[in-house]
Amino acid sequence: MLGSTYGTLTTDSRRARVIACGEQPGPAVHGRAGTDEPDVSGRPLHADVPDLDRFFRPEAVAVVGASDAEGRPNTGITRQLMGWAERVGARLYPVHPTRESVFGLPCSPSVAELPEQVDLAVLLVADPLPVVEQLADAKVKFAVAFASGFAETGDEGAAAQERLSAAVQRSGLRLLGPNTNLNAFERFRDDLDGPAIALITQSGHQGRPVFSLQELGIRLSHWAPTGNEADLETADFISYFAQRPEVGAIACYVEGLKDGRSFLLAADRAAREGVPVVAVKVGRTETGARTAASHTGKLTGADAVVDAAMRQFGVIRVDGLDELQDTAALLARAKKPQADGVVVYSISGGTGAHFSDLATEAGLDLPALPQEKQDELHQWIPDYLSVANPVDNGGHPVGDWRGRKIIDAILADPSVGVLICPITGPFPPMSDKLAQDLVDAAEQTDKLVCVVWGSPVGTEDAYRTTLLGSSRVATFRTFANCITAVRAYLDHHRFTASYVSPFDEAPRTPSPSFRKAQALMRPGHQLSEHAAKQLLRAYGIRVPREQLVTSAAAAVRAASLVGYPVVMKASAPQLAHKSELGLVKVGLTSASQVRDAYRELTDIARYEGIDLDGVLVCQMVERGVEMVVGVTHDELFGPTVTVGLGGVLVEVLRDTAVAVPPFGETQARAVLDRLRGRALLDGVRGAPPADIDALVEVVLRVQRMALELGDDLAELDINPLMVLPRGQGAVALDALAVCH
């Protein structure tokens, strides 16, 4: 039996349990994340969280290459750093080999001659490499390198960055950059309160919309412009920000991930802390991926794998910078939802219907209000208007108290967690009174109140003063951004409420299956179907009864043992698409058919120049759902598991979903739910429901195989995996395995 949710489901509860098996050394640890015990693949299970307090709030700062000469770029940077140091209460020391002072401050000729140990050194030099060793000797904790011309420029620059990264590793200091900017040293508003957004970007300009949220009253606490990430990376800052008490949400603009496992560990930490991470990740298209690589010099990763990794660990992926700012702002400030129900309240039936269509299509739950609640609302709203949901008031009351009564009554319903009021355009005084009533109601409830202010002008007093002046109302400018943010808000809280870290139960030691599998591996070769099935059998994955034979007579004997009807297949290493060559015979019911099939298969093989290791005589398995389960390697995340609809049309349908280890039973089931053809497993057109538990178990066992065999298993493809009716299991009818 295999160990944990990564290998098997128990008979009694179908829940996972860890079974320790003999210790075996694994591959080398990937990346810089963590120093604790690795998982069975050799990858870290814990990430060190860098203490970045002295980076963002240093007591002493050195500016290497400081200048006050007019017209020099370093002069403007030095001036900005002086202003920033004053705001954070840091002592600033200019460093320059030929200047006695800069802007009236005494100048040190080198880092070694600074008057005190500094926390942070800002390097305004073209080549930061020679300075790094000096900083190490001076025991400087952090450094920032602005210089460009590294991995973003091609192979030569990438080599230079490798040298810089190696020097930083040896030095013990932590480096931001190179190819970064001054965003970390911006002027942040200190007159705003409430939970803040912490911002991480690899392109400084792309963070401007989120930074500008301060002008709308939304607090920003930090900005980390990671640049080329020769050392400090996005994952480091996510881990750090997730533990900051003032941070309500983390907003990221990511062009390329430096290390997949580091990112997963950082996202896991944020999920444990309940801190939402919202990210724009470039690279959905080939063009975007190519552009991102040229900008930051990092792997963008196969986008489907990145998407799966983010989804598994609760990272909310959005496409536009406007979505990034609106979603992060809502998640940072909104309280935990009391219910999932969304009610749309509008002054126009058309507006309510339009918004409700979009919201329902996006997956939001718009429950019909109970009849007693509708009767209550009709005290103030004419009977001919629908108040089931959306609630159409026909025009918000202006001259009396009824408008507030309507809003309070909706919010009082226990099924309602979110009230959304789309105002497509200003209509004073009605829209002014409506905005004020919404703000007043929001101040008296813990439920989320959202307003979509659709006016293209945006200068109206109801918008600028009433709505934006409230920290309790979430205000949007478009239907789409409101729906995206509300869906993310509800999804995030559902996710964190039931989140269990897969790293806690990830296998540390190999199972007994590992030793059996090692003996079957053939480095550098593709295994025959027979050998690949033996590999599956070693991990407890069911395969048909079958025998490998080398003569027609042996084939007949095998068929009688396997039991008619049988399937016969040619078996050879490097033989992938057997059916296309006529090397599969199905439904054989007699000895004569078996003899003829054996001769035909061997004749075709000779004609095609295929050196067979024999012919497989297999049990014929029918009546099930054909699925595919496989393993591939991603450059960033290592082994990944793919699940989808299988059979001969797998490449046509392309209905697959990806899971990134480590994952448990719950995540495996969630992967199945992402398939377009998921309903086939529940039974359609009279077909019985499939054994989903058995399918999940196969997925978990394949994950265990991928983790234990690591980089030695380049590729695994089980197609088709026949998932039989409920309670009857799943059988791997064919398999392909490629060894590194």
- Which tens digit of pLDDT belongs to each residue from 237-260? 999 999 999 999 999 999 999 999
Quick one: pLDDT at residue 292? 52
Sequence-ordered list of residues with C-beta below 8 angstroms from that of 330, at least 6 positions apart, any chain: 448, 450, 474, 485, 486, 488, 489
Sequence-ordered list of residues with C-beta below 8 angstroms from that of 205, at least 6 positions apart, any chain: none
Quick one: pLDDT at residue 1? 43
- Give yes or no for residue 713 having a pLDDT over 60: yes
Quick one: pLDDT at residue 59? 97
pLDDT grade, residue 299 (50/70/90)? Answer: very low
Is the backbone of residue 65 left (phi > 0), alpha (psi -120 to 50) or beta?
left
Structure tokens, 138: 């001076």
- Nearest CA-CA partner of 208 in 225, 231, 227, 228: 225
| Helices marked H in 93-202 | 129-137, 155-171
pLDDT grade, residue 650 (50/70/90)? Answer: confident
- Give yes or no for residue 3 having a pLDDT over 70: no
- Segment among 305-319, 335-349, 424-438, 650-664 with least mean pLDDT: 650-664
**Cα angle, residue 106 at apex, residues 103 and 109 outer, rounded to 5°:** 110
Cα–Cα distances in angstroms (integers) from residue 688 to residues 679, 683, 685, in the given order: 11, 5, 9
Cα–Cα distances in angstroms (integers) from residue 255 to residues 158, 205, 302, 307, in the given order: 16, 13, 13, 13
Give the span between the Cα atoms of 378 and 386, in whole angstroms.
9
- Segment among 210-219, 574-583, 695-704 with least mean pLDDT: 574-583
Quick one: pLDDT at residue 651? 74
Residue in this structure with the two tokens 């979509």, named with its chain if needed: 452
pLDDT grade, residue 288 (50/70/90)? Answer: low
Q: What are 668-678's pLDDT values in tens digits? A: 999 999 999 99
Residue in this structure with the two tokens 């209460």, named with its chain if needed: 89
- Segment among 76-80, 391-395, 538-542 with least mean pLDDT: 391-395
Strand 735-739 relative to strand 713-723, pairing? antiparallel
Give the span between the Cα atoms of 391 and 362, in whole angstroms.
19
Averaged over 430-437, what is the pLDDT? Answer: 94
Quick one: pLDDT at residue 7? 62
Residue in this structure with the two tokens 């480590």, named with its chain if needed: 662
- Cis omega before residue 502 (within 30°)? no
Q: Are 626 and 645 in contact (CB under 8 A)?
A: yes
**DSSP 8-state symbol, 395:** S
Cα–Cα distances in angstroms (integers) from residue 260 to residues 32, 340, 412, in the given order: 11, 33, 45
Quick one: pLDDT at residue 290? 55
Collect contacts of 562-567 with beta carbons under 8 A, ≥24 apart. Answer: 562/617, 562/618, 562/619, 563/619, 564/588, 564/589, 564/590, 565/589, 565/620, 566/594, 566/617, 566/618, 566/619, 566/620, 567/616, 567/617, 567/618, 567/619, 567/620
Q: How far does Cα 616 stand from its chain's mean position?
A: 42
Quick one: pLDDT at residue 399? 79
Residues counted in the chain:
740
Give the span between the Cα atoms of 142 and 526, in whole angstroms.
48
Q: What are 31-81's pLDDT values in tens digits? A: 444 446 899 999 999 988 999 999 999 999 999 999 999 989 999 999 999
Quick one: pLDDT at residue 684? 85
Average pLDDT, the chain: 91
Indicate the pTM of the whole model: 0.91
Quick one: pLDDT at residue 203? 85
**DSSP 8-state symbol, 526:** B
Q: What are 552-561's pLDDT values in tens digits? A: 999 999 999 9
Residue in this structure with the two tokens 């718009």, named with its chain if needed: 366
Q: Are 720 and 645 in contact (CB under 8 A)?
A: no
3-state DSSP assignment of residue 73: helix
- Give yes or no for residue 9 having a pLDDT over 50: no
Quick one: pLDDT at residue 575? 83
- Nearest CA-CA partner of 706 in 658, 669, 654: 658
Longest dimension (CA), the chain: 102
- Give yes or no for residue 423 having a pLDDT over 90: yes
- Nearest CA-CA partner of 96 in 120, 139, 131: 131
Sequence-ordered list of residues with C-beta below 8 angstroms from that of 524, at least 6 positions apart, any chain: 739, 740
pLDDT grade, residue 643 (50/70/90)? Answer: very high
Give the span between the Cα atoms of 227 and 518, in whole angstroms.
42
Strand 638-645 relative to strand 316-318, pairing? unpaired
Percentage with pLDDT > 90 across the chain: 84
Give the span between the Cα atoms of 186 and 269, in whole angstroms.
27
3-state DSSP assignment of residue 522: coil
Residue 25: burial class (beta carbons within 10 Å; 0-12, 13-18, 19+): exposed
Give the span between the Cα atoms of 95 and 102, in whole angstroms.
9
Cα–Cα distances in angstroms (integers) from residue 401 to residues 292, 377, 467, in the given order: 55, 13, 19
| Helices marked H in 378-448 | 402-412, 430-443
- Nearest CA-CA partner of 318 in 276, 359, 281: 281
Structure tokens, 673: 């739910």
Structure tokens, 548: 């490998």
Averaged over 115-142, what is the pLDDT? Answer: 95
